[in-house]
Amino acid sequence: MIDLINGFKPLLSEEMNKYMQNYRKLFGFDIATLFELLIHFLTNVDTGNEDILYFTFKALTKRYKKLVISSAILDSKEVKASISIGSLNELLQLKLKNEKKIIVFENSHFLIRDLNIKELDDFIKGDFLQKIKNYKYGNLGKDDDSDTDEDKIKDSPKSEEIPFENVDIDSLEPSYKSIYRKVNELDKVVADLRQENFQLTFKVSILRMDLRKIQLRSLYKGIIDIFSSIYKIKIDDYYSSKLRSIINRLDNLPSSKKIIELKEFLLSIYSYLQKGNCLAHTIEEKTSPLEKIFWLVEKEKKKTFPYTKELLKNLNFDETLKYAENNYYSLKDKKKLLNNIKFSYDELDTLLRKD
């Protein structure tokens, strides 16, 4: 098989050959697949990469049944036209897993991320797999003008399907009336379940976000305490007072994007302190304290904090915040945290004033 593949290499571009390698590594290969790929690459010039796109999605949905592919990719001609063989190579090299994630095409790249509520609902109600199944490839050795028997049957008036809701029940035979009623009842049950599932999913999403805020509460306190210590602010004061004092100190510095962003970040994490008592276990053992904090703040605020992220990283906050990760944040923890701050007031001041 490898010799056969190598024999066709001169006929294909570098990206096409790379695609063959990626596909073979991910899904395996046989002679039928090889020749189908060659037909897509060499004969369907008019359709661009659309045929190979559908071919790829068909293999992905068969292998990774829980993985969702955004319908927006297939619904937009502009998006499909912008997807190159190189883009598909990037897709096949992503860390694909059989889990409830979604594949999207954004900023000219394929990405895998969690589904939002709308995407989940679109997937539940959608017909993505049917679109893949019904897609007709541009040219697989058939004359474009010739219709198959199946196509002729579909085009025949006799084969037209009447929408379920437009069926005249009084015109049906008694046995069919009974079937119609049962199907109609089941259809309503499915619609109710779909709506209930959507509502539950939405509620679970909100609960998960609130749980994050609660579980990270000690880290929020730790960040405020570190700045309080550096600025010689009374460490046993209320967090609202300590935060106000920190903001006042920052206001005394020359205004810049860095200062404005840091103040917004500190105000954001303080708002999460009021979400309730913290739980007894951590979230992701292998995730650093700052990664947990920024994941939540950036996701919730729908913006990034590049200056603050770089600043806290340079000040070695992760090394100090590990003493505030047990969710209880006792006086002993606070003492350890304050004794292990890795930067001085002068270092902080220099970084904040630096362009």
* Neighbour tally for 256: CB within 10 Å: 14
The pLDDT value recorded for residue 260 is 93
The pLDDT value given to residue 153? 39
Which stretches of the chain score pLDDT less than 50?
Answer: 46, 139-162, 164, 276-284
Looking at residue 127, its pLDDT comes to 63
What pLDDT does residue 317 have?
92
pLDDT of residue 293: 83
Say what the pLDDT of residue 142 is.
42
Domain spans, the chain: 2-138, 216-353
C-alpha distances out from residue 109 to 71, 87, 166, 286, Å:
16, 6, 43, 27
pLDDT given at position 339 = 92
Cα(144)–Cα(137) distance, integer angstroms: 11
Residue 136 · residue 47 · CB < 8 Å: no
Q: Assign residue 110 a region: left if phi > 0, alpha if psi is -120 to 50, beta otherwise?
A: beta
Strand order through the sheet with 102-106: 68-69, 102-106, 109-113
pLDDT of residue 294: 86
CB within 8 Å of 221: residues ≥ 6 apart = 239, 273, 324, 329
Q: What is the DSSP string of 217-249?
A: HHHHHHHHHHHHHHTT--TTS-HHHHHHHHHHH
The model carries a pTM of 0.39
